[in-house]
Chains A and B, each alone.
Chain A
């Protein structure tokens, strides 16, 4: 089933702070999934990992497909073991506003309904966490 999730959030922080939150291992690990080999370079492959509810390791195999600092980044995204289902794409769009930064997250691809439902419930939570990550980064710079 093809899907396209699009979520928008506004954060009262600068576009630089938000960009750092999504393009550093420290930032990504704080709000999304554990990351230790991310690089903001086109073609770079990286792994996002977490210990799932069963106590096993989930590995999301990702690649930076397109990047245009600090306004746009596109990743491919697939859970290890699900490669046969094809890649999905995660896109971040950042726009500077008078009061901060608007982030649009788009996740698209082809998955079964249960998986899509998990994305639907997961991303809003993750984007709330991103707000906290960015807040912490902004505060640490003051």
Chain B
């Protein structure tokens, strides 16, 4: 597709679009480079305990260990830290927006790896919120009775933090692999760390429009 022209487009448009395409290609290459660098991370630390979470399974409140979240022969486990604790009035709307999207993607993602969503709030509140939201694919777990959140930076100074962690199986050992640590860095230009942009289609789509992201923030209800 060397020669793309849309109906009635001007020469100046095509010239600017070609320049943008170059930037998009550079970004694409950078994304690949970063992903490759991430994959090459050396072994992470072993989990200090096999955390016990609570979840609802087939209408029953169940205790589930972190090691049991690896389904089948999966080597990787993605855990989303959902900002929702008993002392919060409501679940984080930003997290909810991300999870609304992941809900649909989980069946696809789980062809490759295992996934779970962990929140500090009690399992009944969490399960009800998920059901109200219409979530059926997301695996919701409460970390109310363990130290997972503080150990893996889903909580800092008593406040919930939105973050994501990846754990891997190394033989019989479970090790930490990656955390979206960008979120703990000093604010960059633009004011938001965008550490979970890659799993949040809303922003990427808005970035395709002249309006961009503006000052919009998602809400639980519209």
Least CB separation from B15: chain A residue: A34
**What's the minimum C-beta distance from B4 to chain A, rounded to whole angstroms?**
11
Stretch touching chain B among A2-10, A49-57, A65-73, A120-128: A49-57
Q: CA of A34 to CA of B16 in the docked complex: distance in angstroms?
A: 10
Question: Within the assembled complex, what's the spacing in Å between the Cα atoms of A131 and B9?
Answer: 28
In the complex, A49→B16 CA distance in Å?
Answer: 11
Q: Are A36 and B16 in contact (CB under 8 A)?
A: no
Contact check, A29 vs B15: say whether CB atoms are below 8 A apart: yes
Instruction: State how many residues of chain B have any CB contact under 8 Å with chain A.
Output: 9
Q: Does B5 contact A (CB under 8 A)?
A: yes
Is B16 a contact of A51 with CB atoms below 8 Å? yes
Contact with B along A91-114 (1 / 0, CB 8 A): 000000000000000000000000
Scoring A residues 34 to 45 as 1 if CB is less than 8 Å from chain B, else 0, what string do you get? 111100000000
Decide yes or no whether A47 CB sits under 8 A from chain B. yes
Cα A43 to Cα B11 with chains together (Å): 20
- In the docked arrangement, what's the CA distance between A37 and B8, Å? 9
Question: Closest residue of chain A to B16, judged by CB?
Answer: A51
Chain B residues positioned under 8 Å from A34 (CB to CB): 10-12, 14-15
Q: Chain A contact residues (Cβ within 8 angstroms of B): what range?
A: 10 to 19
User: Which residue of A has the minimal Cβ distance to B11?
Assistant: A34
Q: How far does the Cβ of A138 sit from chain B's closest Cβ, in whole Å? A: 23
Tell me which residues across on chain A come within 8 A of B13, comparing CB atoms: 49, 57
Instruction: Check if B11 sits within 8 Å of A57, measured CB to CB.
Output: no
- Is B10 touching A29 in the complex (CB atoms < 8 A)? no
Chain B window 10-31, contacts with chain A (Cβ cutoff 8 Å), 1 for yes, 0 for no: 1111111000000000000000
Mark out the residues of chain B between 14 and 73 whose CB falls within 8 Å of any chain A CB in the assembled complex.
Answer: 14-16
Contact A33 B11 (CB under 8 A): yes
Establish whether residues B10 and A57, one from each chain, have CB atoms under 8 Å apart when the complex forms: yes
Residues of chain B contacted by A36 (CB below 8 angstroms): 5, 9-11, 14
- B49 nearest CB across to chain A (Å): 57
The chain B residue sitting closest to A34, CB to CB, is: B11
Cα separation A47 to B13 with both chains bound (whole Å): 12
Residue of A nearest to B12 (CB): A49
Write out the residue numbers on chain B whose beta carbons fall within 8 Å of the beta carbon of A14.
none
Evaluate contact between B11 and A35: CB separation under 8 angstroms: yes
Q: Please tell me if the beta carbons of A47 and B15 are within 8 angstroms of each other in the complex.
A: no
Closest Cβ–Cβ distance, residue B20 to chain A (whole Å): 12
- CB of A48 closer than 8 Å to a CB of B: yes
Minimum distance in angstroms from B64 CB to a CB of chain A: 56
In angstroms, Cα B13 to Cα A131, docked, is 25
List chain B residues, Cβ under 8 A from A50: 12
A79 contacts the other chain (Cβ, under 8 Å)?
no
Query: A135 interface residue, CB < 8 Å from B?
Result: no
Sample of 17 A–B contacts (CB below 8 Å): A29-B11, A29-B15, A33-B12, A34-B11, A36-B5, A36-B9, A36-B10, A36-B11, A36-B14, A37-B11, A47-B11, A49-B11, A51-B16, A57-B10, A57-B12, A57-B13, A58-B12
